[in-house]
Amino acid sequence: MSGIALAKEQSVKRRKTKVDVPKLIGFIILLAVTVAMIMPLWFMISTSLKTTKEMFVYPPSFIPKYFAWENFKELFTNSEIKFGRQYMNSLIVGIATVIGTVFSSSFVAFGFARYRARGSNFFFILVLSTLMLPYPAIMIPQFLLFTKLGLHDSLLPLILPSFFASAYMIFLLKQFFSTLPNELYDAGRIDGCKEIRLYWTLTLPLSGPVLATVAIFSFLWSWNDLLTPVLYLDSQENFTLPIGMAAMLSSKFRIAPWNLMMAASLLSVLPVVALFAIAQKRFVEGIVLTGIK
Amino acid sequence: MSKKAGKLAIGFTLVFGLVATACSSEGSSKEGDQVTITHYTIDSPDRTFVEKLIPDFESKHPNIKIKVTKAPYEQFDSKLQSSIAAKNSPDVTSHWGYGGFMEYYNKGMLMDMTPYLNGLTGADYNIPEDVMNIYKVDGKTYGIPLNSYVTVMLYNKDLFDKVNLPYPPTDYEDKSWTFDKMVENAKKLTVDSKNLSEAQYGVDFGFGERDQRPQYFGADVYSEDTWTNGGKPSEINLTKPNVIEAYKKIYGLIWDQKISPTPAFSKSVSGQFGDPFLSGKIAMSVVGSWSLAASSDFNFKVGVAAVPQGPNEKVRSVLYVDPLFILKDSKHPKEALEWIKYLLTTEVQEKSIELSGGNPPVNQKAAEKYYSNFEGIDPEQIKQVFEGAYKYGFESYNHLISNYSQINDLFINELAVVENGDKKVEEVLPNIEEKLKKLLERVNK
């Protein structure tokens, strides 16, 4: 008994005194990487709280001498920036794009995944081949189309295309839908489900991970898009966030207000972070699943 | 099942409802014989201030409405090109993007304003006639100047005081203020140190774009005919001895004399802010006069001086004149011209200085007010510097040479190895000449 107790005590002692070198090195490397990753974020926060004069101090101050919270206030009160309005517009476009992409792409993908018809492969390849077209190739025809429809200078040209499905998302969803077992659908049909209901009550609820993936991707793309809004939007009331933020830096004759820009960037990251926080579990799952199959 | 389908229907209605309410601001209003003129500009406060001038203009011209459309600087050209392709082009704009006057002219984007001018001359708006002439081709007017920037020398008074050096003069006729004298001063102001927080440089010679700099040393990169034949150089002189000498002098400031900052230094002290002068580590900086607008934000006392006399007696400054154009597809050129004329009046040009935060007016009467616009700098000095710069100025190449954005990119990319100190000027120039010739052949077919 006492021998065992002694051995235990010794092992505890040994654990206390002996340094696990590989672990320590690993820890130091991880710490260094973490600091390197956090630095830009830290400078974003720190610059967002600096006054214009402090922005130019060399070497740059790590922590602002004076916390200029008014930078954030100015974003919302400066009538030339219209940050709040642009934020709303971006949210509207982002949310509508997510809804449009999720429904339209999953609907098309459902068709490709669950039904066989003459030439369906050909059409699938046709859809995929649109992935090869760069945006500038369709930019002007699409611009003409929406202008003729009288939709110029409104948010609709940014939203409507997402209701006509996207090739990439169709591909992603189709791959997932194809893996759902046929027996499920047979059982559904025996219970008297119409085809649309197989899509709505069977396929969609089972596809949480991949739908979360599609939602995040489409939101991110719409949130970051600059070129399309620049082409279509003319009046400041309709501008989205990327235009507004690009405009802050757009003068070649002036010092860019980097402190305001950083404050705006900080706020603009929030919805993306929130979306990730909500969808994280499903998103990671989704990547793993679609990755395996 | 019908319940679910109902839910689906409600879902979609909500979606479209959201979309529809979000975008109900569509509306191009046209009442009676009222005419709407679109003014397309860069989305930055020094350009979009024109919105504030609209109410006054519209009350004086009840039949004309002005609509301002804008895009960020980087996207300015792509939006303009697609608008023109979609037959939705604005009426009034300028070459505020990367493209220059000749580029617009050669693409056939500009309207010949001559028939609508009705004898309008520069004198009506106190615009010097030679500035007016910049935008005339074969006697036809394609643009009317609005703002005019020049090259100035800014200097850091604090650094001069530290070594007890007299400030550089503002008078362009002061012939003792030469390039060599500047180099001599710069040597006294340079602190050569590996330590970034101690290092300090005497001069940053940012005269014009890279292909315009040799002009200061009396050498021309392009043949004379470029200025008269629509901006298409027939010959490139990059391998001529005087051009090589000029480039050697320019880059010698960095690598032989070590009185100018290396690109690496500039980048590390100015970081994202672009101009190393702002960091307070450059004593003299030859730059475009737009840098003046920010003078009150500097962390040090700033002065303005004449660009020193170089080997070329005639050219010491680059003129950057921003004109207004009427685009070819405009349906109402007469009304568009009314708007342009309004922007040129002394009263509006004076107002614009303040609204824009310091844009230099082309109207010389309004310019008087501009000179007194800078905190801590004597208006008389600024006036003297500007007038000298006009007298010894040459129009910026990007306004005169066709396809300039591509040419300029070529120079920036190819000369980077010289600026970084990896290669010598004479090794690189023949190479640039070859590439430039090929580029010109392709674009000027």
> What domains lie within chain A, and their CATH numbers?
21-67 (no CATH), 80-289 (1.10.3720.10)
Q: Which residue has the higher pLDDT, A200 or A30?
A: A30
Query: What is the structure's pLDDT at A10?
Result: 60
Statement to judge: residues B253 and B172 lie in one domain: yes
pLDDT surpasses 70 at A291: no
Q: Do A254 and B45 touch (CB under 8 A)?
A: yes
Statement to judge: residues B112 and B139 lie in one domain: yes
Residues of chain A with C-beta less than 8 angstroms from the C-beta of B71:
230, 243
- For residue A149, the distance in angstroms to the closest alpha carbon of chain B comes to 11
Query: What is the structure's pLDDT at A11?
Result: 59
Q: A256, A143, A82, A48: which is closest to B74 by C-alpha?
A: A256
In this structure, is residue B6 part of a structural domain?
no
Beta strands in B327-430 (DSSP E): 393-395
Residues for chain B: how many in total? 445
Amino acid making up residue A227: L
Residues 359-388 of B with CB under 8 A from A: 359
Query: What is the structure's pLDDT at B433?
Result: 92
Which pLDDT tens digit goes with each residue over A226-279? Answer: 888 988 888 888 899 998 888 887 765 567 788 888 899 999 989 988 888 887
Query: What is the structure's pLDDT at A7?
Result: 61
The chain B residue lying nearest A246, using CA atoms, is: B72
pLDDT surpasses 80 at A91: yes
pLDDT surpasses 70 at A287: no
Query: What is the structure's pLDDT at B271?
Result: 58
- Alpha helix segments (H runs only) across B61-136: 76-85, 101-106, 114-117, 129-132
Q: With beta carbons less than 8 A apart as the criterion, state whether A213 and A286 touch.
A: yes
DSSP state of A201: I
The 3-state DSSP class for residue B109 equals: coil
- Give the mean pLDDT of A50-76: 81
Statement to judge: residues B215 and B334 lie in one domain: no
- Give the mean pLDDT of B309-319: 90
H/E run at residue B187: helix B179-189
Statement to judge: residues B175 and B271 lie in one domain: yes
The closest CB to that of A59, out of B85, B197, B298, belongs to B197
Residues of chain A with C-beta less than 8 angstroms from the C-beta of B88:
147, 152
Residues of chain A with C-beta less than 8 angstroms from the C-beta of B298:
56
pLDDT surpasses 70 at A202: yes
Query: What is the structure's pLDDT at B160?
Result: 93
Least-confidence region, from A33-47, A188-202, A270-284: A270-284
- Give the mean pLDDT of B104-122: 88
Domain count along chain B: 2
| Res. A13 pLDDT band, cuts 50 70 90 | low
pLDDT surpasses 70 at B13: no
Statement to judge: residues B348 and B305 lie in one domain: no
pLDDT surpasses 70 at A288: no
| Res. B269 pLDDT band, cuts 50 70 90 | confident
User: In this complex, is the C-beta atom of B62 within 8 Å of any C-beta atom belonging to chain A?
Assistant: no
Domain with B92 in it: 35-148+321-379
In this structure, is residue B16 part of a structural domain?
no
Tokens standing for residue B298: 């500097």
pLDDT surpasses 60 at A84: yes
The CA distance from B390 to B148, in Å, is 9
pLDDT surpasses 60 at B110: yes
Picking from B379, B406, B423, the residue at the C-terminal end of a domain is: B379
The closest CB to that of B82, out of A139, A226, A252, belongs to A139
Residues of chain A with C-beta less than 8 angstroms from the C-beta of B277:
none
pLDDT surpasses 70 at A14: no
Query: What is the structure's pLDDT at B77?
Result: 85
Q: Which residue has the higher pLDDT, B302 or A250?
A: B302
pLDDT surpasses 70 at A9: no
Where b means 16+ CB within 10 Å and e means fewer, B314-329 reads: ebbbbbbbbbbbbbee
Statement to judge: residues B292 and B231 lie in one domain: yes
User: In this complex, is the C-beta atom of B78 within 8 Å of any C-beta atom belonging to chain A?
Assistant: yes
In this structure, is residue B188 part of a structural domain?
yes
In this structure, is residue B21 part of a structural domain?
no
| Res. A293 pLDDT band, cuts 50 70 90 | very low
Query: What is the structure's pLDDT at B17?
Result: 43
- Give the mean pLDDT of B358-374: 88
> pTM score > 0.90 for this model?
no
Q: Which residue has the higher pLDDT, A89 or A258?
A: A89
Residues of chain B with C-beta less than 8 angstroms from the C-beta of A188:
none
Query: What is the structure's pLDDT at B304?
Result: 92
Query: What is the structure's pLDDT at B293?
Result: 78
Statement to judge: residues B154 and B238 lie in one domain: yes
Statement to judge: residues B401 and B433 lie in one domain: yes
Query: What is the structure's pLDDT at B232?
Result: 87
Which pLDDT tens digit goes with each residue over A168-188? Answer: 999 999 988 888 888 888 888
| Res. A5 pLDDT band, cuts 50 70 90 | low
Query: What is the structure's pLDDT at B345?
Result: 92
Query: What is the structure's pLDDT at B203?
Result: 92
Residues of chain B with C-beta less than 8 angstroms from the C-beta of A143:
82, 85-86
Mean of per-residue pLDDT scores for chain A: 84
The closest CB to that of A156, out of B1, B15, B19, belongs to B19
Q: With beta carbons less than 8 A apart as the criterion, state whether B39 and B93 touch.
A: yes
Residues of chain A with C-beta less than 8 angstroms from the C-beta of B82:
139-140, 143, 231
Q: Do B1 and A197 touch (CB under 8 A)?
A: yes
> Hey, of B46, B47, B70, which one would you mutate to test binding to chain A, going by the most A CBs within 10 A of its CB?
B70
Query: What is the structure's pLDDT at B23?
Result: 39
The CA distance from B329 to B324, in Å, is 15
Please give the share of chain A, as a percent, with pLDDT higher than 70: 88
User: In this complex, is the C-beta atom of B9 within 8 Å of any C-beta atom belonging to chain A?
Assistant: no
pLDDT surpasses 50 at B52: yes
pLDDT surpasses 60 at B1: no
In this structure, is residue B238 part of a structural domain?
yes
pLDDT surpasses 80 at A161: yes
In this structure, is residue B23 part of a structural domain?
no
Which pLDDT tens digit goes with each residue over B217-263? Answer: 999 999 988 887 878 888 899 999 999 999 999 999 998 888 998 88
DSSP state of B86: T
Q: Which CATH number goes with the domain that contains B67?
A: 3.40.190.10
Crossing angle (nearest 10°) for helices A208-224 and A83-114: 140
- Give the mean pLDDT of A55-73: 81
| Res. B61 pLDDT band, cuts 50 70 90 | very high
The CA distance from B134 to B398, in Å, is 12
Query: What is the structure's pLDDT at B31?
Result: 46
CA distances (Å), A153 to each of A159, A228, B20, B72, in order? 13, 11, 14, 16
Q: Do B25 and A238 touch (CB under 8 A)?
A: yes
ipTM entry: 0.71
> Hey, of A104, A163, A253, which one would you mutate to test binding to chain B, going by the most B CBs within 10 A of its CB?
A253
- Give the mean pLDDT of B57-81: 90
Which pLDDT tens digit goes with each residue over B393-426? Answer: 888 888 888 888 889 889 999 999 998 889 898 8
- Give the mean pLDDT of B159-176: 92
Total beta-carbon pairs less than 8 A apart between chain A and chain B: 146
The closest CB to that of A254, out of B44, B69, B74, belongs to B44
| Res. A12 pLDDT band, cuts 50 70 90 | low
H helix count then E strand count, chain A: 16, 0
Query: What is the structure's pLDDT at A170?
Result: 92
pLDDT surpasses 70 at B268: yes
Statement to judge: residues B161 and B78 lie in one domain: no
Statement to judge: residues B427 and B355 lie in one domain: no
Crossing angle (nearest 10°) for helices A83-114 and B2-22: 140
The CA distance from B68 to B41, in Å, is 7
Statement to judge: residues B187 and B129 lie in one domain: no
In this structure, is residue B375 part of a structural domain?
yes
pLDDT surpasses 70 at B208: yes
Statement to judge: residues B100 and B130 lie in one domain: yes
| Res. B88 pLDDT band, cuts 50 70 90 | confident
pLDDT surpasses 80 at B25: no
| Res. A3 pLDDT band, cuts 50 70 90 | low
In this structure, is residue B15 part of a structural domain?
no
Q: Rounded to an integer, what is the distance from CA B121 to the centroid of its chain?
A: 24
